[in-house]
Amino acid sequence: MNFDFDLFVIGGGSGGVRAARLASGEAGAKVALAEEDRMGGTCVIRGCVPKKLMVFASGYPGQIEDARAFGWRQARAGRFDWDHFHERLVAELDRLEGLYRQTLKKAGVTVFDQRARLADPHTVELADGRRFTARHILIATGGRPFKPAMPGAEHALTSNDVFHLERLPETMLIVGGGYIACEFACIMNGLGVKVTQIYRGAQILRGFDGEARGHVAELIRTRGVDLHVGTDILEIHENGGNFRVKTTGAGSGEYDQVLFATGRLPNSDDLGLENVGIETGRRGEIPVDEYGQTAVPSIFAVGDVTDRINLTPVAIREAAAFVETVFHGRPTKADHEMVASAVFTQPELGTVGMGEEEARERGAIEVYSNSFRAMHTGFAGREERALMKLIVCAESRRVLGCHIVCDQAGEMIQLAAVALKMGATKEDFDRTMAVHPTMAEELVTMKTPVRTA
């Protein structure tokens, strides 16, 4: 059978663009890609990139305050100019989207700026009614923010909306305890917004190491976020341009804006999956095997729509593995073990490997942990403490997990991840000479476990 394309990619985010570029530009395949929104997907347009730029912006008041302690007595932050920042933010995102489009064009990918659905195992139908056949179809449609069903939910923002605010609110309620909620709580607080954060669970950052998440919660409160756990939202009512919110506990009140950061769901709705016999999971995820292949041999999926590890670098690696497998004939599995991540709170949380609770269930462990005032914060007169933590297998001596809470923890954890991925033991860490004076030297100078389990 002759096909219009060797590969048709649905979704122009990080995973979809990478797969299209590699299949066309390197493997020589005839490739098409359909994207109904902006090229670059969640990460570039409404996630990692704009969020990190906001993290940078929100950190300057604290840095300027520290500067005065270091002798820059006239340093003052003044009032944050949202209009100026937002104009530059939009320009940067436009630039990045343009680069994505140039990359696809250079690789020879045919781009359709509209929605695409599955018509059959080898046919894609565009929103304008045109149909194209493809030997292989890759679904890379990512995820979307989830809003709980409750009275007044339509009044609340999601993470997609934050980057398009016309003005900064004076007060904001953030609902949720995951990394997105915590990051935006710190961002808005740093930009001068009075932030209240509520989470229905007992502690924020569920799924991360217990000691590390408790440490982050303490520091978030210290920096000014009014954080309440064990508290859920009940309803929202508009009240003269503001929003009156009722909760199960502390946090009830009136706010300029309410932000739901209550999780994300796979973007699998209205893709025509029923036309090809693909059944999604409980959360809407598309089930795939280790090679990204669905129950239909000609259809694959990568990234957040599969709801495995929802991180941009993972989607990119899955896309590359897909191209290796399908177009180069070299069966390749994306490696989902020891994937490092960072939570860009203030300060940051960097983590790789197992948390203490998970490791304890696997066998005997040793825990090395230290909380200390860093040289910079101590000199500036802040009581804030950094946390360095290693989880070690008592039998093999392999370091199973590393958790860091401090400024620039995201940068540190990337390097620590290399060691853990290589199977480094605690003795390997001990043999490594410290770089002094740094915060990270604590990772190679902790000699005695604080507890065993």
344 token code pair: 């860009």
**Residue found under tokens 């008041």:** 61
150 token code pair: 């409750």
107 token code pair: 């690789």
Interatomic CA distance for residues 75 and 79, integer angstroms: 13
Interatomic CA distance for residues 153 and 45, integer angstroms: 24
Our answer to whether residue 336 is catalytic in this structure is no
- Could you say which of 84, 155, 403, 436 is catalytic? 436
Angle at the Cα of 137 from the Cα atoms of 134 and 142, rounded to 5 degrees: 150
221 token code pair: 């409160």
306: left (phi over 0), alpha (psi -120 to 50) or beta: alpha
Interatomic CA distance for residues 421 and 35, integer angstroms: 35
Q: Which residues contact 90 (CB under 8 A, 6 or more apart)?
A: none
Q: Is 409 helix (H, G, I), strand (E, B) or coil?
A: helix
Q: How many CA atoms lie within 13 A of 410 on its CB side?
A: 10
> Would you name the residues annotated as active-site residues?
436
